[in-house]
Structure 1
C-alpha cells in the first residue's frame, strides 16, 4: 500500500469512527435530532439542552462589515424568514456595531423567532458582567439564549475564567438572574487548549452547553479540532458549533473547493450548527439553499474532498487563525480581558 493509500485509509477510518460515534449518540442518521421546519431548513438538537436550532447559523461579524446598516437588517431578517434561527454575535465584533445592527433587526417580533447567541471576552467578573450588560443593551433584549466565553486561545485562559471572582462565577449569577439561558465557550487556536478548557469545566462540575470551534476541510488535515475535540464533545453530548467553514474566506483562496463544498463538509460532521458569515443577500440565499438541500455525503464523496484538500492543507497555510495572530482579537486588545480575577 502506498503512502497516499495509507493516508486515505486513515481518513476513511477516522471519518467512520466519528460518524459511528455520532450515530450511537444521536440516532442512525448520525446528526443531532435531524428534522426540518416548514421552510425546509434542516434543524438539529443543541446537545443536552434539547433546543432545536437551524443547521446553518448566521455569523455576526460579517453583519457589521456590510456597508449599509439597512442592508444588514434585511440580511438578518431574510435569514430568519428563510428558516435560520441561530444567530451568532460577539461583544467585540466591529466595536459593538454587529450587535447594534442585530438588535435593530430583531425588533418587530423577530427576537421571538431567533435563538440568540453572543460572546464576551472578559475573564474577571466585573469586566464580564459589564460586557454582558453592553450586549443585552445593544441587542435590545433582556436575555440571551446562549452566551459563550470568547477566544479561549491561551493555556492560561481556563484557569482565569474559573478563578474566584472570575467570569464563570459571574455568568452563573447572570444565569440565575434569567439573563442567560445556556453557557458555552469558543476558540480557534489550538485543540489542546479546547481540551484543557473542557477538563477544567468538568473539574468544576460544569458541562458546557455548547462549544464553538473551526471545523472545515482544511482542519481535518492539520492540528485538527475535528479529530481531537469533536469526539469528546459527542461523548459528553455537548452542542457542537462549527465555525470558519471557509476559514473567513481564506480557504476559498486555495481554489480547490467551492463554498457549497465547504458548508457540506462541515454539515457532514455531528455539528448542531455550522456558523457562516453572510454579507449579501446572494450569500445568505446560498446558505439557505444548502440548509434546505443538504444530504449526507457518501464515504466516497468525503474521501474525495479530503484528498483534494490534503496537498494544500499542510502547515495550516489556509488556517491563519491557528498559525498567526491575525484573528486573535484579545491578543491585539488585551484590555478586553479585564484585570486579574
Structure 2
C-alpha cells in the first residue's frame, strides 16, 4: 500500500472508530434539542451545528428574525458571521438580540494588520448590537504570509489581545484553507479554536483535513468544521451562474447525500459543523443534528464509494 493510500485509510478508520465515542460524549442542554459538545479547553459547550451568518444575508429583517428564533429554539447556540458576508451582520444583530446572552457569537476579520482589524472589530460590534464577541478569528488564512502578517509586529493579533484584555472578545481563533498554515498557526500561538474544511471528499480524495484534526487535538485547540455538506467545485461554465448563490462550491446535490456527509463530519472529534449558507441546507442540518447518530459501516462505505473521481474543493500543496 502506498503511503498516500495508507494515510487516507488511517484517517477513515480513525473516524469510524471515534464515532461511537463521540455519540456517547455528546451532551444536550435539554431533551429533544440539538446536542452540544465541549470546545477545546475553553469550558464552553456548543451546539454540534452552527448558524452561519450567510443564512440571513440578503434576507428581510422578519425572515432573519424568524430563522434565528427557530434555530435557537431548536438548540443552536453557536453562531458565526464575518464582515465579508454582505449584509449578514446587519441582519443577524437585531435578530439575535433577544437571545444574545445565551448564545456563543463568533465573528472574523479579514484585516491582517492592527489598524484594519481594529476597524473591523469596532464595526462588527456596532452592527451585531453587542458589546463583546465570544470568539474573534483571523478569516481565511491561506498562505504563510497571511499568518506572518497577523502575528508579526503591528499585526492583527495586537488588536485581538488588546480587545481580550478589554473584555470585547473572549477567545481568539482562526479560519483556514491550508493544512500547512493551520499547523504553523497552532505551533506559533496558543489559539483557542481552528475553523477549517472537513468533509468526505476532501479526506478521501485529497487527504486534506486529518492533519489539522490531529494537531488541534494535541494542542487542545477547539475544532470547528466548514464545508461538511460540500462536494465539489462548480464546472467552469457555471462558476458565475449556478443555482446556489450562497455557495461558492457545489454542495451535495441530494438531501440524503448531504445528510450522510454531515454525519460523516460529525463522526470526527470536532465540536461543531457549519452547514452551507442556504437556508434549505441549514434546516436539513438542524434535522440531522437533532436526530444525530454516527454512520454505520454500510452507510460510510456507500458514501465513500461516491467519492472517487470527484474533484475536491481544496488540495494539499496549494497553500504555500
Select between 288-297 and 178-187 the one with higher mean Cα deviation.
Answer: 288-297
Which SS does the other structure have where 2:21 is aligned? coil
Deviation at 1:74, TM superposition (A): 1.1
For residues 112 and 33 of structure 1, do their structure 2 counterparts lie closer, same or farther at Cα, with a shift above 3 Å needed?
Answer: farther
Matched, 1:104 2:87: no
Please give the per-residue CA displacement for 1:20-77, whole angstroms capped at 9, x wherever unaligned.
Answer: 6x69xxxx713694111224311000011010100000111232144x3321221111
TM-score norm. by structure 1 comes to 0.80
> CA offsets per residue over residues 126-158 of structure 1, 9 Å max, x none?
111111010000000000011110010122011
Alignment match of 1:15 (pick from 12, 16, 19)? 12
The runs of 5 or more residues in structure 1 that have no matched partner are 202-206, 326-341
How many residue pairs are counted as aligned between the two chains?
299
Query: Cα distance, 1:230 vs. partner?
Result: 1.1
The SS at the match of 1:263 is helix
- For residues 56 and 231 of structure 1, the distance between their equivalents in structure 2, rounded to whole angstroms, comes to 21
Q: What CA distance in whole angstroms lies between the structure 1 residues aligned with 2:209 and 2:24?
A: 16
Report the alpha carbon displacement of residue 293 of structure 1 after superposing the two structures with TM: 0.8
Residues 45, 52 of structure 1: 8 Å contact kept: yes
Let me know the Cα RMSD of the aligned residues: 2.8
Cross-structure match for 1:245: 228
Q: How does 1:261-340 map to 2 (within 5 A)?
A: 261-280=260-279, 282-313=280-311, 316=312, 319=313
8 Å CA contact 1:90, 1:99 repeated in 2:
yes
The answer for the alignment partner of 1:48 in structure 2 is: 41
Contact 1:256 1:309 in 2 (8 A): no
In structure 1, the partner of 2:244 is: none
SS in 2 for 1:36: coil
Question: How far is the alpha carbon of 1:285 from its aligned partner?
Answer: 3.3
Q: Which residue of 2 aligns with 1:90?
A: 82
1:220–1:257: structure 2 CA closer, same or farther, 3 Å change rule? farther
Cα offset, 1:19, TM superposition: 6.0
C-alpha distance after superposition, 1:268-307 (max 9, x if no partner): 1111010113543x54432221111111123443233222
